[in-house]
Amino acid sequence: MERAAVLGRLNWQLATVVELVDETMRTKSIVLDPPEWAGHRAGQHVDVRLTAEDGYQAQRSYSIASAPQDGRLVLTVELLDDGEVSPYLVDELRAGDQLELRGPIGGYFVWEESLGGPLLLLGGGSGIVPLRSMLRHHNAIGSNVPARLLYSSRALDDVIYRDELARLAASDEVDIRFTLTRESPEGWGGYRRRIDRELLEEVAWPPSDRPLVYICGPTGFVETAASGLVALGHEPGRIRTERFGPTGG
């Protein structure tokens, strides 16, 4: 009991759903107002718990999409066809509903200015979510740490936070690059291929610059990106990964 008190239990709480924002055909951002929120660090996640009328429960983890400075808690959830929780969150949840959650959770896949950089973010699909929190945080604190994002999506319509990232890309503050792996529109100015060693070499700073790397996406993407960077000579200890499989939820 004493230890629990010292370390602080993460209690379940009922957050009010303030707003739902369509991000792509398959992803929505859920804007939440939790009654007790002591703040979070960019890159952390929360656990969400759903309860059916007969008491049956399902829990999943979702990355926080908002920056600590945003003043509201936002999750972005991708609909998984065989999922149990994500179809509810994307298709059923409405503004005004209550959503049970606890967090923030996780202390490693987190970026704070004290950790320095250069900051290299590599995201695949909805793996962009915690990286977007880091980018918003970087922006909100006016950080001078050089930051670069490579974001891999299947097609332009699958790009989450498209307008926001395009606006950021147009500023000089961060360097944002997109790659589309399945289809790209005519005149597309970004990359048109899957992440590989050659693309990593082009996008990553040289190993001598010792970038701090955060990689989030499906297992294949993360594995390719992380092992590719190690092969190029980047320090494994400066590469932080977060993966989700097809059963994420």
Partner 1 sequence: MAPISRGFRGRRRAEADPARIPPGQYVTHDFPVLSAGPTPHTALEAWSFTIRGAVDQPASWTWASLTALPSEKVTVDIHCVTKWSKLDTVWTGVSLDTLLEGVETSAEYATAFSDGGYTTNLPLEDLTGGKAWIAYAYDEEPLESEHGGPARLLVPHLYFWKSAKWVRGLELREEDEPGFWESYGYHNYGDPWKEQRYWGD
CB of 96 to partner 1, least distance (A): 10
Burial class (CB in 10 A: 0-12, 13-18, 19+), 13: middle
From CA 242, how far away is CA 130, in angstroms rounded? 9
CB of 8 to partner 1, least distance (A): 6
194-223 residues in contact with partner 1 (CB under 8 A) are 219, 223
What size, in residues, is the chain? 249
Instruction: Point out which span in 10-18, 119-127, 143-151, 172-180 binds partner 1 (CB under 8 A).
Output: 10-18
Residue 31 or 168: the one with the smaller Cβ distance to partner 1 is 31
Which residue in 59, 169, 173, 194 binds partner 1 (CB under 8 A)?
59
CA distance readout (Å), 77 to 27, 62, 94: 5, 7, 14
Please count the CA atoms within 13 angstroms of the CA of 178 that sit on its side-chain side: 25
Burial class (CB in 10 A: 0-12, 13-18, 19+), 71: exposed
Which residue in 61, 118, 146, 194 binds partner 1 (CB under 8 A)?
61
Which residue in 21, 22, 51, 193 binds partner 1 (CB under 8 A)?
51
- Give the other-Cβ count within 10 Å of 11's Cβ: 7
CB of 210 to partner 1, least distance (A): 15
Burial class (CB in 10 A: 0-12, 13-18, 19+), 185: exposed
Which residue in 25, 35, 39, 53 binds partner 1 (CB under 8 A)?
53
Residue 19 interacts with partner 1 (CB under 8 A)?
A: no
CB of 15 to partner 1, least distance (A): 11
Q: Which of 193, 67, 212, 46 is nearest to 132 (CA)?
A: 67
CB of 193 to partner 1, least distance (A): 21
Binding site for partner 1 (CB under 8 A): 3-5, 7-10, 12, 14, 47, 49-53, 55-61, 84, 88, 92, 97-100, 105-109, 219, 223, 226-227, 229-230, 236-237, 239-241, 243-249
